Amino acid sequence: MSASLRLVHPPEAPDSARWDAVARRDAAADGTFWSCVKTTGVYCLPSCAGRPKRENVVFVETRAEAEAAGFRPCKRCRPDRFVMGALQDRISEIDWARAHAALKADGWARLGRLLSDGECAALIAAYEEDALYRSRVVMRRHGFGEGEYRYFADPAPEIVSALRTKLYDRLAPLANEWAQALKQDRAYPRDHVAYRKVCAKAGQKRPTPLILKYGPGDYNRLHQDLYGGEVFPIQVAILLSEPGRDFEGGEFVMTEQTPRRQSRAMVAPLEKGSAIAFAVNERPMEGARGTYRVKMRHGVSEVRSAARYCLGVIFHDAS
Ligand SMILES: [Fe+2]
Ligand SMILES: [Zn+2]
């Protein structure tokens, strides 16, 4: 299997330096190369807790090389789940043409993995830090379901505000396309700073990014996240917990109501750290006799065990 592997020896990182990093389990080297273990047929992050022998290890520069040579991702360090680069780069690497096409066809799109395990863990831990939030909502009190959520105060933690501003940049062109198709006489500004000013003018000044926490038996009724007349038509949710391990059930559910039709239900498969974008409320749908107005709702089915955390990024602010 290793015969097809190309050994890489860039001057800045000879294999001896790479092996040193593996021996030290150096997390700083994660993502810069991958070690393939010939005896087990798996490939690993340099920081993996496994202890392969030097003679059994070959290094490659990309995951694609490791997989092409027949190596499987290590179950221990999960190199397949490693998130590369700065948030900005991860957002740039999303296939936005495909995401926009899916949003237009179905009202939602998978954006892939945006947050690393460490970032998910940090956001879950931050749920208990009172100073980060402007308010807490116990869903039962409002008839929203069971569970609770907290809205971040301004300024939101760096990673949350970065997600909000950078995802906005990519979604605003589609929001404008939808506004035009729905014959709404408006334009969404190019960047989120300008858009927050539009929200403030409409009396919506309070930030809406939030973390939702569901325990056993909790769920979220189908709803739309509307906080006044000013609405950005697309929002993003990022799952912070691992399905099947941290919780069971808790599926992200959407319904789509088309004129003169029964509702269509859709379930978005989500992995830990992965994101979906979906329509907040109305979206245009091209039909045989012109453009239809389709209404979307979303919710979460019952969580059957342990805890499910989710980060919600809504682009309009609340009154
Ligand atoms: Fe929601
Ligand atoms: Zn490993």
The CATH code of the domain that includes 32 is 3.40.10.10
Angle at alpha carbon of residue 144, lines to 138 and 149, rounded to 5°: 40
Q: Return the C-alpha torsion angle 68, 73, 77, 82, nearest 10.
A: 60
Which residue, of 22, 48, 81, is where some domain finishes?
Answer: 81
Strands ordered across the beta sheet of 57-60: 57-60, 34-37, 42-44, 72-73
CA of 34 to the centre of ligand 2 (A): 10
**Is 94 among the domain residues?**
yes
Please report the pLDDT score of residue 223 as a whole number: 97
Q: What is the pLDDT of residue 13?
A: 59
Q: Is residue 172 part of a domain?
A: yes
Q: Are residues 135 and 247 in the same domain?
A: yes
What pTM was estimated for this model as a whole? 0.81
User: What does the block give as tokens for 116?
Assistant: 């690393």
Find the ligand nearest to 52 CA: 2
Mark the residues whose beta carbon lies below 5 A from ion ligand 2.
44, 48, 50, 74, 76-77
Domain count, the chain: 2
Residue 144 lies in a domain: yes
Are residues 57 and 104 part of one domain? no
Pair 62, 9 in one domain? yes
**Same domain (yes/no): 56, 110:** no
Which one of the ligands is nearest to 45 CA?
A: 2
Q: What is the CATH number of the domain that holds 252?
A: 2.60.120.620
Structure tokens at 113: 């993995």
Q: If 0-12 CB within 10 Å is exposed, 13-18 middle and 19+ buried, where does residue 267 land?
A: exposed
Looking at the fold, whether 167 and 36 belong to one and the same domain comes out as: no
319 within some domain: no
Q: What per-residue confidence (pLDDT) applies to 31?
A: 85
CA of 94 to the centre of ligand 2 (A): 26
Q: Does residue 19 sit in the same domain as residue 91?
A: no
The H-assigned helical ranges of 25-86 are 63-68
Tell whether 95 and 75 lie within a shared domain.
no
Kindly identify the ligand whose nearest atom is closest to the C-alpha of 226.
Answer: 1
pLDDT at 8: 47
pLDDT of residue 83: 77
**Same domain, residue pair 227 and 270:** yes
Return the pLDDT at 11: 46
204 located within any domain: yes
Residue 25 CA to ligand 2 center (angstroms) comes to 10
Task: For residues 63 and 113, state if they share a domain.
Answer: no
Contact 29, 46 (CB under 8 A): yes
Same domain, 158 and 56: no
Contact status, residue 230 vs residue 202, Cβ threshold 8 Å: yes
- Domain annotation covers residue 57: yes
The Å distance, Cα 218 to ligand 1 centre, comes to 14
Ligand 1 centre distance from Cα of residue 288 (Å):
31
Domain limit, last residue, from 53, 81, 109: 81
CA of 241 to the centre of ligand 2 (A): 21
Look at residue 318 and tell me if it is in a domain. Answer: no
Q: Mean pLDDT per segment of 10 residues, for the chain of length 319 residues?
A: 45 78 88 94 94 94 93 90 80 94 97 91 94 96 96 93 96 98 96 97 98 98 97 98 96 94 94 97 91 96 96 98
**CA 95, 96, 97, 99 torsion-angle sign:** positive
Is residue 47 domain-shared with residue 183, that is, in the same domain? no
Q: Which of 27, 60, 81 is the last residue of a domain?
A: 81
Residue 282 covered by a domain: yes
Q: Which ligand is nearest to the CA of 310?
A: 1
Q: How far is the CA of 26 from the centre of ligand 2 (A)?
A: 13
Q: Do residues 149 and 267 share a domain?
A: yes
**DSSP at 80:** G
Q: How far is the CA of 222 from the centre of ligand 1 (A)?
A: 8
Domain that holds residue 33: 2-81
Please give the structure tokens belonging to residue 229.
Answer: 């007349």
pLDDT score for 3:
40
